[in-house]
Amino acid sequence: MLKIKYFFFIIIFIFFSGISNSIADTKSKIINNLSSIETLEFEFNQIAFGKEENGKCFLRRPHFLKCEYFNSKSQKELIINKKRLVINHKRYGKTYHFPVSKSYFVDILNKEKFKDLVEKANLELNKNLYEIKYLAEEKGEIVFFFNKKSFDLIGWEILDVSGNHTRFEIKDLNKNQIIEKKLFYIGEVN
């Protein structure tokens, strides 16, 4: 009887060790893929505040992001240039400034911060993608989605501290294209 209990203990230990190694291996592949990226260019669909929008983004690590919204009547664009996040509504002449530090963009743009976030987060396999779930009390919860075969980032969902839900889906991803720094120019602060 003692041999049977010992045998089951060994089987359970091997099973959970295998799962743990598999999770660590998957996270390692995601991190290696992310570490190889200097720039990204992609189209997106975003659902926020009950409104669906789409457009194109340009990302240059470690501090730059620009998203141009195609179907926005306000001719909206989002620009991150180091520590500044600006949402510009060209049609209405309105510009809103926010600190990047209060968003997950600072984690996405910086390779080391993204690596740390992935290592600390929970990983789940869901259909044909991996989900990396992370919670920061000052920012809310974020779930990153990665392609199961290529380990490419394919989107994220955020539930911020105010209870706002945003879903961001990436399409037509192009890695390590030449993107000029001047694309991310913000201009004078009002």
pLDDT digits over 70-97, tens only?
876 768 999 998 888 999 888 888 899 9
Encoded tokens for 172: 């037509």
DSSP lists the bridge partners of residue 130 as: 125, 146
Higher pLDDT, 62 or 22: 62
Q: Is 49 among the domain residues?
A: yes
Q: What pLDDT, on a 0 to 100 scale, did the predictor assign at position 13? A: 38
Least confident of 9-23, 38-52, 119-133: 9-23
Q: Is 189 among the domain residues?
A: no
Q: Is 27 among the domain residues?
A: yes
Q: What pLDDT, on a 0 to 100 scale, did the predictor assign at position 188? A: 56
Give residue 118's region: left, alpha or beta (phi > 0; psi -120 to 50).
alpha
Report yes or no: 181 and 64 within 8 Å, Cβ to Cβ. yes
Supply the range of the domain harboring residue 21. 2-184
What confidence tens digit (pLDDT) does each residue in 143-182 have?
Answer: 999 999 999 999 999 998 888 899 999 999 999 999 888 8
CATH number at residue 135: 2.50.20.10
Q: Structurally, how many domains does the chain consist of?
A: 1
Report yes or no: 61 and 69 within 8 Å, Cβ to Cβ. no
Residue 9: pLDDT band by 50, 70, 90 thresholds? Answer: very low
